[in-house]
Structure 1
Amino acid sequence: MKNDANVVPFNHQDQHPSAAGKLPAALLRVRDKAATLLKDYLQELFANADDALFEMAERATSNNEQNALFEAMRDLRLKRKHIERSFLQQLFSAFSELSQLPSTQPPQLETHSFESLSLVQDDVLEESVAIDSMVAKVKRSDGDALQQLTTRFNHILSSKTTVEKNPLNPRVLSEFFITSCNNINFSINIKLIILKLFEKHVITELGALYQASNQLLIDANILPDLPTTAATAKQRPTVRASTHPASAEPVLDANATVANSEQLQLAFSELQAMLSELRGNVFPARQTPADAVPITSNDLMRLLTHMQQHLPSQSQHDQDLRKQLDQLLLRASANSKETRIVGQVDDDVINLVSMLFEFILDDHNLPDSLKALIARLQIPLLKVAVLDKTFFNRGNHPARRLLNEIASAALGWSDQDAERRDSLYQKIESIVQRTLTDFSDDPNIFNELLADFIAFTGKERRRSELLEQRTRDAEEGRALAETARVHVEQELNTRLLGKTLPEVVVQLLQDAWSKVLLLTYLKNGPDSSQWRDNLATMDDLIWSIEPHEDVAARLKLLQLVPALLRQLREGFSNAAIDPFITSDFFSRLEALHVQAFQRYKQQAAAAVTEPDAVATNSYTALNEQLEDLPLQPEQPSVATVMVEVQEEIVLQQPETTDSSPSKIVLAEDDPALLQVDSLHTGSWLEFSQNEQDKLRCKLAAIIKSTQRYIFVNRSGVKVLEKTRMSLGLEFKNNNVVLLDNALLFDRALESVIGNLRRLKNT
């Protein structure tokens, strides 16, 4: 076809010629049309991904989050062609397999469905929930068109397929896309954002694709009398426009609000369906009299408000919400002479909220003292869910966001902190108290509470980030100083170890000139001319005080000394070495050089009487150079103390909190060390020495040059430092736990969904 070269640049037909040849010509046209449209949709996704991720990066609340988004932008740019090619290859393979399905064996549906995968890994569960939502929307809006397309496929295929196996099924296309992106190491939050973009730019366009594909088959006279889907397709622009108003901010969050209220309601309906399957088995069936009268949601709200207002001042984690509610219903039944029960829908809401808080209050990431405060929010959040069933599916619902923000801020809070003096604890306590006091049936109060809490935590975060940055700068400077110290030690030991030199020279190089070298390394680096010059000065100094029998070397010494002294004085001055120390050194160095020159002058004077003409001329030249030096043999020379440098020179270093080397060395492939290597800045950990003493801190910096890990508390103050090996041993001995800083409510909801699916499959 004309478009083949544009649609399939990887020449897929060449890879599967036999399979492609078995497809009817009409299906080949559908395949190529679908590939053309899907390629356009993907290109639109990539064209908008940069802007979307950049906007999110600008609104990021931490450097880690911002860096992850920028990294995702870079990876998408570099690998977009690979993703596009892989996606289309899978599409072509799926079409080729249509002709290979055995006609006697029905397709095995959902053998590897997202439900089974969700039992393996939390990330896959999140992807499954996102795909569920996308598929459900397509089924509602374009399910008939997809069914008609599958019917037409089966009309011309010898082996029958199903809607679930149709290569253009939204679930199949979503799995193609996820598989294509698997070679990029995105975090789950980034994956969900990319999936949201896939939904926006690809999944929402499937109605037009189904219409075009059905029309191709109708034009080929394949079941032309099936009801048309044009009416459905014509409605799509209206829906698309309503979800993307020009003045609205782009919906980029993985849990972004879906505009259509009916679509939001679906999430609760699916959860309710799971509960109904387990009712009477896992969940005991309610024993209700035949004359029982369900109370209205308004009556339930009044009962919950009564419970909220009479909540004990210190709510316990294990408070039995259902038991308290049943007691109130018994009183209501006695007063009304009718058996009153909670309606089935509201009962399901109560069960879901109870399961969510069961997870939340068992979560290790929350400090126990703050769990007591969060437990008091169970009734208010239950009231929110009763009022608005979309609460379970709206990631940006203010009540959910408030709970997530509280949990996120509390991650670094320790039970050892002084509760009454801690501003964060006091703020959370005031938020909870105001919720219990002021929230009746207007959920808008959560918008106000959320804004207030975000403003509070924003100020705290800015202060802590400033301190964190100062800590990082200080630690990086210390690491650079450590590297410089090691280099200077190496240079000193290379020149001094094993040599016998005047003690004054050894002391000067170790105590004073080492500081000159350190300063030069830190200021100019090891590749600078200043560094090389200072090393050369050290070499010249050592050479100048060594004995030399060669006359030319003695002449060189005479020329070298003035420049050497000047370079030494300049170096000491730049390093601000104590002038009293340098003055004493220069006096003693001068004495060494004068003694050498006097000895050379005596040897030169004696040499002129020798018969060797060459030696006589050389020493005569040396004698002329030394004629200005006084020869004072009558004065005894000062004894020079000589030392042999037998041990390596180790310069003084600042003390560290974790400076002693570990006696145990783990193998590089040890799981504990691999876990250390997987840490990134911003990770929260809890160190425990015993059951009572626990320290929560955040990894603020990884100093690669020294393999040190710097930890700060939630205020940004350094509280701990570990080497890579010592941190690995902490993990191996189970003395440290990596805390999960993902959104609390979202993790709780994932856990509830996963548990419901597991229970359904058992």
Structure 2
Amino acid sequence: MLQTGTGLLADRLKSQSRLWFGEHLYRYFERLEDNFHRRALSANNPAEQAELLAQQKAVKRGQDEAFRLFADHINLAFNTKRAYDIGGHPELDRLAQGLEKLSDAYFKHEKPQLRIICRAIAPITVLAGFQQILVPLKLEASHRHQALTMFQGLLIQELNKLYSDLLSSLPVESQTHNLEAWISHIKQQLAEKNLSTQERALTETRLQRLLKLHSHRHSKNSNSVQIEPSDEELLNTVATLFQQLTTRRRLSSGVLSSLNTLQTSVSALALQDRSVFMHPLHPARQVCRQLINTLNQWDDAPLAQRQQFEAELKTISKKFSDHHINANQFNAVREQVDACCQHLLQSIKLNDKRSLNADVGQKRLARLRRKVHEMLDEKTTELDLPVNIGNMLYGPMTTIILYHWLRHGSNSAPLRRSLQLVDDILWYIQPHSNWSELRRAKAMSKDIETELSDGLQRINYGYHATQTLIDELHQLRLAASGRSVSVPLPDAKR
């Protein structure tokens, strides 16, 4: 579960925007990869095909760095004190007007920051982020127009949905009259197990905001004297935060060391802040919850992202000093923690998609392999094939046919040539009695050898294994010639 924000409206809107950008940006990377791959398959020029495949690999390698740079660009825009000017985009204008209409009793001090958020998520700001991803993706100049067009279609043109989502999530005046009922309702929503990561994160941030508002009202109206918690209660509260980590035994030593450092620092802060620390929205508690909830999905993260998360967590934990620690230090690292956790969770989500696509691809490959075997069965049903020829047809030859089927299509010329090669091999190894057939078999020997070698090379079949197959094929041809009925040579003309 990704917990972001401090319970305030501005932080919640930032969190929701970051989640939206993360999801759509990785979707853009995936579509961009697919675009280069499909163009490579249809390319006639080998050099052009190699260039497109290299570009696809570059996008795959650089997408994580591109996401980080784009996230930094958006975070910088959030911190740039430049308000949005109404009049540029209807949906964004409605969002800005909705923010302006919020009650000053609750959001007066946040409104300047809310105007900055509108500027940070404006299309012109998002489009400027495209420049940030060009270098890590290593996009050649000839492909940038295509990449920009896809960026506009998958992100810029979809921004209206983000604006609508943000507008619909704004608090309504009537909601503030019955906080207890809303808190109970949102807790019931969180108890549901079918919530997505994004839905759960947004729901929890709403709950945190309501709890903070409820706590503020309660403390304002209550005249009772609060009893300060004991040291044992404070330390138990800190320990409970870290006991929620379910993957501790599988974490690396570096992560465990950083967590121990963090727990020591938080314990010192708890003893210092006393009753303030007991509030669930204390910055240190929120940072710890976010890190723990992210680490609970550690098993699903790729190795490279684990190592990056470990390095960033080590950097974060070193920023706290046991002797001079305060809550403001945790507020200062909120964005860094948020970006760190979001990056890991997005990589997990992308990895899940890739695994799903791989499973689908494996099922399709198995289905096509069965079809190829059925075609081979039809061709060999009345033939008594040697064992080595059967192994070749249902082994490497099947792979060659699948290669052309998947790469060029079910009705492509390369696939038809592969199927014709099967027919030629089956005819080649059979005994023949007609003189013209014997001459034809001798003439096609070189062609079969060339086409078979080329096909085996395409599927990365070993050179020595290839030569062995070809030698066996020629041996069968010689054996068939020995079984052929002898026919007299044509009489010479006198």
Of structures 1 and 2, the one with the larger relative CO (CA 8 A, separation 6+) is 2
Q: Rg bigger for which structure?
A: 1
TM-score by length of 1: 0.30
TM-score by length of 2: 0.43
- Structure with greater helix percent: 2
- Structure with greater strand percent: 1
